[in-house]
Amino acid sequence: MRLELGYIKVSDVQFGAITEVKNGVLFVNKQEMITTLEDERFASLEIDLAKPGDETRIIPVKDVIEPRVKVQGSGGIFPGFVSKVETVGNGVTHVLKGAAVVTTGKIVGFQEGIIDMTGPGAEYTPFSKTNNVVVIAEPIEGLLQHEHEAALRIMGLKAATYLAEAGRSVTPDEVVTYDCPPLPQALQQYPNLPKVAYVYMLQSQGLLHDTYVYGIDAKRTLPTFIYPTEVMDGAIISGNCVSACDKNTTYHHLNSPIIHDLLERHGKEYNFIGVVVTNENVTLADKERSSSFTAKLVEWLGVDAAIISEEGFGNPDADLMMNCTKLEKKGIKTVLVTDEYAGQDGASQSLADADPLANAVITAGNANEVIVLPTMKKVIGHPEVADVIAGGWNGSLAKDGTITAEIQVITGATNELGFSKLTAKGV
């Protein structure tokens, strides 16, 4: 599997007569975009723009999606939703790097996030640095939450696909090629380097807690292999309304830093063999089955070590520990990537589950840290949600519009794929 990603750099977004990319500016024909997206499940549909440095707050954020278009190769972007269910991950894909679609909607008020385009909150989200085309869709009366989620999820994917078409014929500013050979070849490469696999845990616990792989709800699948380049073509889609800080948006999946870093250091520090996608479950029997399958598949790959990333907190900590301990007991070293709910002072136990075999853990930050988000000149969405959003409390939203809350409220603040700027320094 060989994929060329052609990055078209987008440094600005503006409304214009034609949807096109010209000299690094993404112009959007607003009316055409609205007409393309119209859906009878929504009573109103509006498009707005939010750029880096704007005094703008987007709340509540449902998903963020990067515009990508397949230029060559089998299948199309977001297989199973926008394109047919055909294997992706090979050929050429163009990326509008620097642009993003943000969907907003009050699905279940307490489970969506905030993006501030400037100020202290902007430092915690990568989406303050992207030129955002915001889709504001208000549902018709009586639309159930899960129907609203599904409709808005697909609308976001369609919006990204519509914008990405503008980049189909544009010559990319940068091209990066990823080669992922079949297993027998991969195993023979770099015999002196340690062989490493990646276990990619996907939130999949039920209604409004789901992630999709090629259009299927991940909890309805057994753990399986996937090429890293398939993920870059949108094979994994976020469909969940979990805490904003550690939800993997579709943008995160497309740009997973774990996958990109593993590929970048492949052949230098280690031999990156492959990815196992697995789910996170409600019942203990399902957790046992999935973690046993995951351990078996990773063992099958014949690797020395595995990186395991989690999505969420609490219940999925059990899946994380089961994946870790079952691999360690097979003699496969593990490194876990998670985030912490260690209390506002950071002094409490970070995870809801633990095991002595989990002896190498990377934290993406403490979601309970408190931040004050100052008033913004413009708010896109529903500011009143701040009072019920996960990570806020009674009175989080002050009369002047200031929000005092835990960084948990910020989309991507403690992303467990490591897509953030948070770091730790020795003192």
Partner 1 sequence: MRYITIVSNNPTVELTSTDIHVTDYGVVPVLERVRDLVHLGHHLLTHPFAGSVKPNENPFRSVVVTKGDLGVDYQSVQIAEGCLEVARRMVKERPYRDFPTQAIKDLQLIDKSLLDSGLESLRMAGKL
Residues acting as catalytic residues: 241
Taking the C-alpha atoms of residue 381 and residue 109, their distance in angstroms, rounded to an integer, is 12
Q: How far is the CB of 282 from partner 1 (least distance, A)?
A: 4
Q: How far is the CB of 159 from partner 1 (least distance, A)?
A: 25
Residue 346: half-sphere exposure toward Cβ, Cα within 13 Å = 7
| Residue with Cβ nearer partner 1 (285 or 427) | 285
Q: Which amino acid is at 354?
A: A
Taking the C-alpha atoms of residue 138 and residue 148, their distance in angstroms, rounded to an integer, is 9
Rounded to 5 degrees, what are φ and ψ at 323?
-60, -45
Taking the C-alpha atoms of residue 406 and residue 233, their distance in angstroms, rounded to an integer, is 33
- Does position 346 interact with partner 1 (CB under 8 A)? The reply is no
Site string for partner 1, 358-387 (x = CB under 8 A): -----------------------------x
- Cβ neighbours of residue 70 under 8 Å, at least 6 residues apart? 76, 77, 83, 88, 91, 92, 93, 233
Among 70, 195, 219, 326, binds partner 1 (CB under 8 A): 219
- Does position 211 interact with partner 1 (CB under 8 A)? The reply is no
| Residue with Cβ nearer partner 1 (164 or 202) | 202
| Residue with Cβ nearer partner 1 (77 or 336) | 336
Among 34, 143, 208, 305, binds partner 1 (CB under 8 A): 208
- Does position 112 interact with partner 1 (CB under 8 A)? The reply is no
- Does position 111 interact with partner 1 (CB under 8 A)? The reply is yes
Among 168, 348, 378, 398, binds partner 1 (CB under 8 A): 348
Taking the C-alpha atoms of residue 167 and residue 144, their distance in angstroms, rounded to an integer, is 36
Rounded to 5 degrees, what are φ and ψ at 198?
-125, 130
Among 83, 103, 131, 205, binds partner 1 (CB under 8 A): 205
Q: Is the peptide bond before 191 cis (omega within 30 degrees of 0)?
A: no
Question: Stretches 34-42, 68-76, 172-180, 276-284: which one binds partner 1 (CB under 8 A)?
Answer: 276-284
- Does position 412 interact with partner 1 (CB under 8 A)? The reply is no
The footprint of partner 1 on residues 77-96 (CB under 8 A) is none
Taking the C-alpha atoms of residue 98 and residue 8, their distance in angstroms, rounded to an integer, is 8
Judged on CB neighbours under 10 Å (0-12, 13-18, 19+), 40 is exposed
- Does position 142 interact with partner 1 (CB under 8 A)? The reply is no
Whole-number Cα distances in Å, 240 to 82, 145, 212:
18, 12, 10
Q: If you count them, how many residues does the chain have?
A: 427
Binding residues for partner 1, rule: CB under 8 A, are: 108-111, 145-146, 203, 205-209, 219, 242-243, 246-247, 281-287, 311-318, 341, 343-344, 348-349, 352-353, 387-388, 390, 392-394
